[in-house]
Structure 1
Amino acid sequence: MPWPSPGNSVQRPLFWSTWNGSAPTRKPAVDACASSRARPAWSSGTRKARPGRQPTSLSPGRSTIAAVAASRSGRAGRGSMNKVIALLFWAATALLGGLGASQAMSATPMPAAVDAQATEAPKPFLKERETGWFWYKDPQPEPAPSKKSDSRLDSHTSEAAAAKPPEVRMYEKFKADMVEARIVAMFNPTQANVERYVQYRTALVRLADQFAEAGQRVVWANPQYDFTQERPVNVVGLEAYKQEQAKLQRETLERLAKGHVLYFFFRSDCPHCHAFAPVLLGFSRATGIQVFPVSLDGGGLPEFPRPHRDRGQADALGVTQVPALYLANPSTRDVVAVGFGTLSETELIDRLVAIANPSASQYVDAATPVRSLEGFEP
């Protein structure tokens, strides 16, 4: 473990003061005579003998003074020995550190032209006592990029700029000039600066109008790009579209009435269920699609006074909110969610037509999951 620096307030070894160049400081030994004089007068005399021991005199004798002198001389000898050990230790450390550094330098091949700071061998830790325990050294600066790499980067940039179409370069220049003109006119709104920016803005509007008109001509000549063929916007086309949609709705509802039922999950204490029940009952009578009411609490509604009790259908479908409406096919046991909450009759028709007829995209159809009610027949 390396020794701490002299500036830190830690426990230093015995020989630290010798290495630091100052005289060792020790607490003087307590003199037996002084300790006896410091005792109160009533404590002088002979100590009370314990059982099995001889009484001892408190007054100092010749034997006591001789023992103290011998103790002092022994401590002085040990202090001198510690000084010698400290000097030998530091000499051996410095010698070993120097030999290790010289061997490392001789074993590592050095190039011919090397910076003098780079070839400097690191100092041993024990020789850097002025650094202390906590320090931070800045990392070596990264080498600057060579001129070759800069030239290559410039060449790549110029090649990429040359590979762009001339229209892209024209647009980038126009955009940069317009931004510059706007900033100049904003902070220095003189007539000349504002007029310069207005010129750029007018040119941009004309370019956008030209682009929009050309795009419209392309749509006119190519009906596959014209969305008004599917959803007309004019009066004549919109009337034909409505007639077509009405025919599709009528055919879809007639097909559903023959082989499908509507699962209606509700609770007798739900106000939304009471509001939606008349709408659903009227829709069922108008389209002929049978409604299968399922009560989660066993109670009924005025429109459905004798509902079926839940026998696991709600858990199988994951019903957590009421009212809930599902379209089921009893022959295939497939169930599809129609909606939750109160729905109008128009919403019911639109959703049932969209679910019952495949769309143009498979992703749209996959967005409506189809579940199974195997074993839960209505």
Structure 2
Amino acid sequence: MRKTLHGVTAVALIISQAAAAIPTFAEDTGPVRDVFYCEQRKLGSWFYCDPDKEKYPTLLETPSAVPAVKQLAAIGEELDELKARAILNPTTENLAAYMHYQRAQLDRASTFADVWGRTVWQNPELDYTFERPINSLGKRTWMEDRKAAKASTMAQLSQRYGVFYFYSSACSACRVFGPIVRSLSDQYGLEVLAVSMDGGPNDQFPHYVVDTGQYRKMGLTGDQVPALVLFDTQTKRPIPIGYGLMAADEVMDRIFTLTQTEPGSDY
């Protein structure tokens, strides 16, 4: 009787220790029973929910007591375990167990995506498309509004800003970019000061000056040309637009972004 009691006590201790542990997957080759699919969705034998499967530990039985991140990690570990079993021992049973569990997680992900969409529809502050539409009609309207806003900005630019255009007479990209800068200057009445980095002339801007430190004072680094800089006459602050050859639309877009939008507002 003494030995039996000791044996029962030992077994009870082992059971209590096992119950306190958070199960990740079954110790034997059987699958883990998932409460989400077995009890909430009642999907039965497709997800190993039959009574004869109750010998396997229940996955995440007390979500309130287990952090969600651990619950999610346990699902990932179980999926990896079932996949590894199927690869190392590709029996019909192992493959079926992996495929069933994988399908269950795909279903869970689909539900997440569905609820995500519904939540966005019902909470406009979460809907990014109000700021940057993605459907064809909304995108076209947004682009037309942005185009009008850029044109308005460029039309008023000369009232506050001047432009420094740094070039080199030996630079082929500068020879292509010069007419683009000249066209923007003529179209929007921009005052452009062309600054030669090598002392050479400029066909588009005959009244050029030679660099005597303006490049560094405008916040530019290196010796890259062509380079374009806006100068704010109110704040006395230079605003580098960029380096290299740019199309007129790109120059306008950068000027609009740098002068009219807050960082992150378009994303």
State the TM-score, normalizing by the size of structure 1. 0.50
In the alignment, structure 1 segments of 5+ residues that lack a partner are: 1-154, 365-378
Match of 2:55 in 1: none
Match of 2:203 in 1: 302
Amino acid aligned to 1:328? F
Match of 1:346 in 2: 249
Match of 2:156 in 1: 255
Match of 1:326 in 2: 229
Q: Distance in 1 between matches of 2:140 and 2:84?
A: 52
Structure 1 residue 179, shift from structure 2 partner = 2.2
One of 129, 139, 151 as aligned partner of 1:228: 129
Distance 1:331 1:216, change over 3 A: closer
Distance 1:332 1:225, change over 3 A: closer
In the alignment, structure 2 segments of 5+ residues that lack a partner are: 1-16, 24-61
Structure 1 residue 214, shift from structure 2 partner = 0.7
Computed over aligned residues only, the root mean square deviation of the Cα atoms, in angstroms, reads 2.7
Residue 261 of structure 1 aligns to a residue whose secondary structure is strand
Match of 2:105 in 1: 204
Distance 1:329 1:176, change over 3 A: closer
Match of 1:114 in 2: none
Distance 1:235 1:172, change over 3 A: closer
Amino acid aligned to 1:333? K
Structure 1 residue 166, shift from structure 2 partner = 7.5
Match of 1:336 in 2: 239
Q: Distance in 2 between matches of 1:214 and 1:160?
A: 28
- Match status 1:359 vs 2:262: yes
Distance 1:166 1:297, change over 3 A: closer
Match of 1:79 in 2: none
Distance 1:335 1:194, change over 3 A: same
- Match status 1:267 vs 2:168: yes
**Higher mean displacement: 164-173 or 217-226:** 164-173
Structure 1 residue 195, shift from structure 2 partner = 1.0
- Match status 1:239 vs 2:127: no
Amino acid aligned to 1:241? W
Structure 1 residue 358, shift from structure 2 partner = 3.8
One of 178, 203, 214 as aligned partner of 2:115: 214
CA displacement 1:63-97 (0-9 Å, x = unmatched): xxxxxxxxxxxxxxxxxxxxxxxxxxxxxxxxxxx
Q: Distance in 2 between matches of 1:205 and 1:159?
A: 27
Structure 1 residue 257, shift from structure 2 partner = 1.9
Residue 232 of structure 1 aligns to a residue whose secondary structure is coil
The sequence identity of aligned pairs, in percent, is 29
Q: Distance in 1 between matches of 2:160 and 2:67?
A: 64
- Match status 1:288 vs 2:224: no
State the TM-score, normalizing by the size of structure 2. 0.69
